[in-house]
Chain A
Amino acid sequence: MTEKNFNAVREQLKLAKERRGPAPAGLVEEVKEQARTQKAVLEALDKGPLTVPELAAAAGLSPRKALWWVTALRKYGRVAEGPKRGAYLSYAKNAEKP
């Protein structure tokens, strides 16, 4: 992006914030919480592949939330499916993109 367009984006964002008002506090907090949870999930997977219940215990999430997170991170290439363990699949962290 050129400097000219960068300035145009800043100007647009300023106008959009004036038009809409500040982002709802709940949304900002939710996005911050998402960043913290994503970090916790990826750090838990640093130690090796985990099943959903194992990941839930390691990252302090409910199993349902842990599945949602591996589903989201798998979609965006951060996590890959690993070997099956019993009635569960395991999930492993993908190498960081350069």
Chain B
Amino acid sequence: MANATLSYDVLVVGAGIAGLQASLDLADQGRKVLLVEKQPSIGGRMINLSKVFPTLDCASCITTPRMASVAHHPNIDTRTFAELKGLRREDGRFRATLRQKARFVDGARCIGCRSCEEACPVLVPDEYEHGLGARKAIRIPFTNAIPQLALLDMDHCTLCGLCARACPTDCIDFLQKDADTEVEAGAVILATGHELTRMDAKPHYGGARLPNVLSPMQAERLLAPHGAYGRVLRPSDGRIPDSIAYVQCAGSRDRSLGVPYCSRVCCMFAAKQAMLLSGSLPTADITIYYMDIRAFGKGYEQFVANARAMGIHFVKAKVARVTEDADHNPVVRLERQEDRGLPEEVTHDLVVLSLGMLPGADPVLEDFAGVRAAPDGFLESPQAPLAPARTSQPGVFAAGTATGPKDIVDSITEAGSAAMEAVGFLRRLGEGRP
């Protein structure tokens, strides 16, 4: 008997916080959802954060239950380590091609015991810790990953077989291949998230070259309770830093990078990280070099005021370059935009570059789904003022940072909007008037 194509009410692409929320909102209304995530775990960027602004809730503590709700919901099927390779409309419904990438592990038999990881002799810089920590060639992606399935990185595997010999369920499959499957759905929600500008996008800021110049996500992992070091240490020598600086707009509001827009979250995450650093290192000096502080959400202005009251130095200045001295201390050359405004150089122990947000959606989406991107590269919202979750293609909706930079609160709000739009579209489809 030929395999029937699996059919769903809604296909949700991307299992970050927006995709998770949209899936739950749909599934709780009785809609059948397929949630597809290209990473090996659901959770997106939020599960990688230390705490969230402005409440300073532990990100892992509030994201993990939502991930578990999705994983256990009877109306949601989840496919991780899978990519959308094609999407077309046929007879009023969407037909999607999904590529399940090879984990080299039989997911039905893996019990997540980590025996393979213990046995593996190959250490690799850990992507989850943004290079600060290490992982094995075969590993569970991170402690609270869902699903808890091992994943073998064949590019770093010597085929020594130690993992297979240690596995109690014989689930390692060195011959596994990528597999394409077809699914159909009545509507699609794109929650494809964002990327960050490259650390070396502005080479004169020293990113990716100077060891103590970090990305904001690396700083999150310094602050996370189960982060790479378990402490705030500088990568060059493990010293506890005394002086930390943030360079704002290090990847946004910059036409030379093709990123003229504001990334909307950097002021707040810098203030948040500064407050957390101040808590971890009470005697450290923490400085934020900024152009403008844009604290526009509910409670955000008060949050920044609290940061100032805690002794965080907010310095209105434009940073020209970051170099380092012989001890790898970053040296920030800047021009203050207040007082006399003369150039000066300030030495810190650590510098964090507030990178900008870039579109995360695969540009080929436009080819196969007819979903247009706006000039900034994010998905176009042609009816933005009244229906921001609608894209240029009827039946395809967008949530979260797929349509532009936004914070977690706004991403969750938009996810609910996208879910309601999809339900309305399905109802009209059922009535023969899509």
Contacts and interface: CB of A to CB of B under 8 A. Distances in A.
Contacts of B156: 27
Contacts of A76: 118
Nearest to A37: B123
Interface of A: 1, 5-6, 8-10, 12-13, 15-17, 19-20, 23, 27-28, 31, 34-35, 51-53, 56, 63-64, 66-68, 70-72, 74-76, 81, 84, 87-89
Question: Which 5 pairs show the lowest CB-CB distances between chains A and B?
Answer: A52-B238, A72-B134, A63-B237, A16-B174, A67-B238
A30 to B, nearest CB: 8
B382 interface: no
B158 A1 contact: no
B56 to A, nearest CB: 25
Nearest to A72: B134
A27 B157 CA distance: 8
B238 A89 contact: yes
Contact of B159 (A13, A52, A56, A89): A13
29 contacts: A1-B164, A1-B165, A8-B170, A9-B165, A10-B161, A12-B164, A13-B161, A15-B174, A15-B175, A16-B174, A16-B175, A28-B158, A31-B122, A34-B121, A34-B123, A52-B239, A56-B237, A63-B236, A64-B236, A66-B238, A67-B233, A67-B237, A67-B238, A74-B230, A75-B134, A81-B230, A87-B239, A88-B238, A88-B239
A13 B104 CA distance: 12
Given A10-B161, A31-B121, A88-B240, A64 B235 contact: yes
A31 B161 contact: no
Nearest to B167: A1
Contacts of B202: none
B58 interface: no
Interface in B130-185: 132-134, 154, 156-159, 161, 164-165, 167, 170, 172-175
B11 to A, nearest CB: 32
B269 interface: no
